[in-house]
Every structure is written in C-alpha cells, then in structure tokens.
Structure 1
Amino acid sequence: MTQPEFPPPADVPHDPSELPQPVASRRRPIGWIVGGAVLVLLLFFGGCGALLAATDDGDPAKPGTAAASATSVAPTTAAAAPTTRAPEPLPVYDTPTKRDFTLAVKILRKQCFGSAGCNVTYRIDVTYTGDGDLDPAKTYEVTYQVKGAEDPIINTFEVSGDSASVQQEESASTRRSGDKLTAVVTDVSEF
C-alpha cells in the first residue's frame, strides 16, 4: 500500500528559501560585551607582564627575574665566593707650613695723639691657603709677628681642622698715625 500524496496546503510555499525566517531578537548582546571587556583586560595585563619581562635587568637578588629562576634551576657545584667590599680610602690631610697661612690685621679701634702716634686695637684674620684639608684630630700652634708697631709683637693662635682660635682683641701702639700694622707667620708646629 502506498501512501497517497496530498498536495501541500496553500499557505505553505514549496521552495525552502521562501519559508518564513525567524524574527531576530532585539535584546542586547551582553555576553559579547562582557567577553570583550575580559579580553581587553587580559591583553592589557599580558602586555604589562611582557614589558616587565623585557626590562628585567637579570639581577639574581630579585625574586622572579630570569637570572634568579635560572640560578634556582641549575645545580651549583661550587660555593659562591664571599664578596668583600673594598675598604674606603683614608683621607689624606695636609701638614701646614708658614707659607700656607695669610694673616690680615683688622683694625677695631684707633686713638691717635697728633704727632705722638696712636693706640690701636686690632684682631688677626686667618686664611688657610694650603692645598689640602688639615687633620681635624690634630692641633697646630701658629706663631706670628705683628709689624708696624712701636715694639715688635709676637703672639700665637691654634688651628684644628678648618677652624682657628684667635684672640678677639689685641693692642699695639704706633709711632705715627700713618703707620700700618701687618702680620706674618713665623712658625707652625704640631701640639
């Protein structure tokens, strides 16, 4: 027995391309948006990791560096030699001579008596002109002479490191009001 063939209903087309197509939904593709965002983040962080790996300086002290992981994988046969720091050079200090000092006489007060001369109050200003620094652990005694006064004046001051201890005021008498006081170093010795 054969099945009778019935003609298709009138509203159904005979060609499959003429079949009605499903209506596209108008919902937003949220899955695609979330997936795209995740993909962008993965690419960003992957790029940052590649950049960090490219700038690795190979310092074995830094964990996670290529040199550190290579060191931890490779077996070592000899113990690492201890590193010693080179000693810092000791400072070299100058030994002063009398030519290393320049002295200036600073007039603080001057009282003159016509042609009889003047009484002068002064202070010595010291300048060290040597090539190097002086040892701060050593003290030097500098002897100097003041010229231009009625009587010769000899005095001393002490120098230690970069400071000199001089008297704040000294006195002298000159024969004439136009006489000028000068000072020169005559000796330097270590205390």
Structure 2
Amino acid sequence: MTQPECPPQSDAQPGAPETGHPQPVARGEKPLVGWIIGGLVLVLLLCIGSCGALLTTANSADKPDQGAAATPTASSPLDATSAATTTAAAPATTEPPAPTYETPTKNDFKLKVKLLRKQCFGSAGCNVTYRIDVTYTGSGLDPSKTYEVTYQVKGAEDPIINTFEVTGDSASVQEEEMASTKRSGDKLTAAVTDVAEF
C-alpha cells in the first residue's frame, strides 16, 4: 500500500502567499468593492427603467388612441365644438361677389354753407367767410375713382362757382371761401350743378 504524498513544506509563513502561485479567495471572503459597484449599477438600472415607464405613460396620455373616436364630454363646450368641427364637412369656399358701385349724379350731393365769419358795413353790405359741408346721399362710391363736383353759391352779390373732389367716401373742399352780400340779412346757399369723373 502506498502512502499519499504530502506536498512539500515551504519555508513561507502560514497565510502568506507564495510567490508565483495565485492564492484562491476563500468562499466567505468576497471583496466589499464589488458589492458596492453591483448595488450602484442595480439602483441606476431601476431609476432608468422607472423614468422610461413614466415617459411612456405621459406620451400615451398626450396622444389619443388612433383607433378610438374622440367623444366630447358634456361638461366641456370646447370639446363639443371641436368634435363638431372635426365631424362636419368643410363648407365649400365661394368667392364673395365683387362690390358694385354707382356713378354719382348731382342729386346725390347735398351742400350746406357753414358761416365762419361775417363783417358788415352798414348799408354797404357784408363780407362773409364760409366753408362748404358735403353730404353724399347715394350708395357707395368706387374708391379707385375720383369725381369732380361743380357747385354754385347763391345769395352773394355775384354768383360764385367752385369745385371740389370726391374719392371713395371723402371729399376735399376748401377750408375757407369768401363772398360779399348786398345786405346783412342775405343768406348763402349752395347746390351741385355738375359731376364728372376725372
């Protein structure tokens, strides 16, 4: 019967590693650094997974299900309006009719003489400063056309004929005009005598 051979005894102290031969780690002695790193990796993975789940839930809440029809709630009129507009057919777009304008006549203008100043000289009469106020009684005028309106002022010593221009809804009249009357009680009146397009 042969005796089992014992490994040769080394001069090294017990527990000291031999040079050239790695020492296996005993079963109960795992390094502490490995546990810390493993724990941190696990915590990071759990955080990333939770954030991803929250983002997915938020995105799915923002986007309605493509297959489901939007149903308005009775308490929200905005939802009912938007649902009605999505289900209603779009109305056909039609061009509005072009506006029609009339050609003005002399009867479409009413003139009033607004007295600004009056200076009288006894029996010699008065000097009067006035302005013409214009009122157009017809329907709309073409804003791209200009009309020249001729008018006559009566009641002065001599009849006065003048003009003003009308474009669209505005008339350009003189700020002041002057006339002389024979008597202090004479009143000035004005009437349109002609309308012509420029």
TM-score (norm 1): 0.58
Instruction: Give the 5 Å matches for 1:13-92.
Output: 51=73, 62=86, 85-92=93-100
Task: Measure the CA separation in 1 of the matches of 2:81 and 2:125.
Answer: 83
Matched with 1:113 is 121
Query: 1:122 and 1:84, CA in 2 relative to 1: closer, same or farther beyond 3 A?
Result: same
Q: CA deviation at 1:87?
A: 1.7
Q: CA deviation at 1:160?
A: 0.5
Q: CA deviation at 1:85?
A: 2.7
Matched with 2:183 is 176
SS in 1 for 2:123: helix
Q: CA deviation at 1:115?
A: 0.9
Q: CA deviation at 1:95?
A: 1.2
Q: CA deviation at 1:94?
A: 2.0
Q: Deviations over 1:104-157 (max 9, x none)?
A: 000100000011100000000000011x11111000000000000001100000
SS in 1 for 2:118: strand
Task: Measure the CA separation in 2 of the matches of 1:109 and 1:123.
Answer: 10
Query: 1:88 and 1:169, CA in 2 relative to 1: closer, same or farther beyond 3 A?
Result: same
Task: Measure the CA separation in 2 of the matches of 1:50 and 1:97.
Answer: 59
Structure 2 residue 133 is the aligned partner of structure 1 residue 133: no
Matched with 1:70 is none
Task: Measure the CA separation in 2 of the matches of 1:49 and 1:150.
Answer: 83
Q: CA deviation at 1:51?
A: 4.4
SS in 2 for 1:115: helix
Matched with 1:18 is none
Decide whether the 8 Å contact of 2:120 with 2:127 is kept in 1.
yes
Which runs of at least 4 in structure 1 moved beyond 3 Å after TM superposition? 48-52, 55-59
Q: Which has the larger radius of gyration?
A: 2
CA root-mean-square deviation? 2.8
Letter in 2 for 1:95: T
Decide whether the 8 Å contact of 2:152 with 2:190 is kept in 1.
yes
Matched with 1:162 is 169
Decide whether the 8 Å contact of 2:156 with 2:181 is kept in 1.
yes
Task: Measure the CA separation in 2 of the matches of 1:171 and 1:90.
Answer: 43
Q: CA deviation at 1:89?
A: 0.4
Decide whether the 8 Å contact of 2:71 with 2:83 is kept in 1.
no
Letter in 1 for 2:168: G
Task: State, as a whole percentage, how many aligned pairs show the same letter.
Answer: 72
In structure 2, the gaps of 5 or more residues are 1-69, 75-79
Instruction: Give the 5 Å matches for 1:90-101.
Output: 90-101=98-109
Matched with 2:150 is 143
Q: CA deviation at 1:158?
A: 0.2
Matched residue count? 123
SS in 1 for 2:134: strand
Letter in 2 for 1:163: S
